[in-house]
Amino acid sequence: MECKAMDYILQKLPERVAAALERCQSVFQDSVTELILRANRPVCMQAGARRWYLTREGSLTDSPTAQGLLITDQKELEATVLRLCDYSVYACQEQVNRGFIIIDGGVRVGLCGRAVLKHGEIANVADISTLSFRVAREVKGCSLTLLGMLEPRDGVFVCGAPGSGKTTLIRDMARMLSYKYRVSLLDERGELSAYHRGGFSFDIGFCDVYYAFPKGAAAVSAVRSMAPEIIVCDELGDRRDAEMLRYALRCGVSFIATAHASSMDELRAREVTAGLLNTGAFRYVVFLGGREQAGRITRIYELRDGDI
C-alpha cells in the first residue's frame, strides 16, 4: 500500500486498529489493496489473491479462527464513518446513499448497512455493518505496452474480474492519451482521479474530469462543451450505458471503458454487456488476469478481424 494512502487511512481508523496496523505496516504496505472492518468480525486485508487477518498485538495470520484476532464492533464502525465524513455526515450524504465515501489518497471506502428509504429512494444508510477501504494504485506507464498494440481511437473495452487492475490501466491510458487527444474522464465514483475537495490525488494529465456525474449526463455534457475525441469511464453495466455509447459515436467520440467479465463468453452471455458490444463502440476487447495477476493482459480480441 502506498504510504500516503496508508497515512490517510490510519487517521480515520479506530485507535486500536490503527495502532495494530502501524506495528505490521512494513509487511503489507506494498501489496494490500483492501482493508475490511466488519461489525463483530476480525479485521482483514486483501493482498492479491491472499487474505490476512489482524491480531490485537499487530501481527498477521491467514487463519480466521486464530487466537487473539482484533475484532471491531458496530460502535467503532459508526465512529469511523463520522471521521470519514469529517464529522458531517450531511456533507457526505450523497456519497453515503450511493454506498461509498471518498477520502484523500484515492481511497474509496465502501459501506454496508440498513437502507433508510424515503418515497422509495435511499435517504440514508444506518446500522453500518461493513467498511471496506479500497486503495487505488497509480502505476504510471502501465498502459504503454497496450497502447503500442492497438489504435485507441477505435474503442477499447477492458474487462476482467474485480481486482484485476482495470481501473489502474485505464487511468494511465487516459493520462497518456490526454497529451495527444482531448480526453474527458467520466469519474462517477472518484476512483479514476481520486478527486477530493477540489483537487486530484492522481496524475490524470490534461483530462477534463466529470466527478460524481451520472455517466450518461456526463457524456452529454462533455460532447456539448468539451469537444472530446476520447471519453474514458469505468464499470459499464447499466442498460442505459448502451445508449450513451451510441450517442457518443454519433458525435464522433471514441470510448475506453471497463466491465466486470473474465471471458468473451461471459461478456456475450449477459444481456447488458452483449448489448454494449453490439453498439460497435469497441474494436478491441482486452482481458486482464485475476487478483493474482493484476494488470497482466491475458488476451485481446479485435472484433472486426478476430483474435489478436
Distance CA 246, CA 4 (A): 40
Q: What is the pLDDT of residue 138?
A: 85
Per residue in 28-81, pLDDT tens?
777 788 999 999 999 999 987 789 999 999 999 999 999 999 999 999 999 999
Listed in order, strand segments (DSSP E) in the chain are 34-38, 41-42, 44-47, 50-54, 60-61, 71-72, 100-103, 107-118, 121-135, 156-160, 183-187, 195-196, 199-200, 208-211, 230-233, 254-260, 284-288, 297-302, 306-307
Distance CA 234, CA 78 (A): 29
Q: What is the pLDDT of residue 188?
A: 87
Per residue in 110-162, pLDDT tens?
999 999 998 888 889 999 999 999 887 788 999 999 999 999 999 999 999 88
163 band by pLDDT with thresholds 50, 70 and 90? confident
- Res 1 pLDDT > 50: no
State which H helix or E strand residue 264 sits in. helix 264-269
How far lies 64's CA from each of 32, 45, 104, 283, in Å?
17, 11, 30, 45
Per residue in 66-101, pLDDT tens?
999 999 999 999 999 999 999 998 888 988 998 989
Q: What is the pLDDT of residue 3?
A: 47
292 band by pLDDT with thresholds 50, 70 and 90? low
- Res 107 pLDDT > 80: yes
Q: What is the pLDDT of residue 305?
A: 56
Distance CA 288, CA 167 (A): 11
Distance CA 218, CA 89 (A): 26
Grid cell at residue 40: 463483530
Domains of the chain (ranges, CATH numbers): 3-135 (3.30.450), 144-307 (3.40.50.300)
Per residue in 170-193, pLDDT tens?
999 999 999 999 999 999 888 899
Q: What is the pLDDT of residue 91?
A: 87
Q: What is the pLDDT of residue 67?
A: 95
Q: What are the b/e assignments for 126-139, b being 16+ CB within 10 Å?
A: eebbebbbbbbbbe
Looking at the chain, the whole-number percentage of residues with pLDDT higher than 70 is: 95
Q: What are phi and psi of 191, to 5 degrees?
A: -85, -25
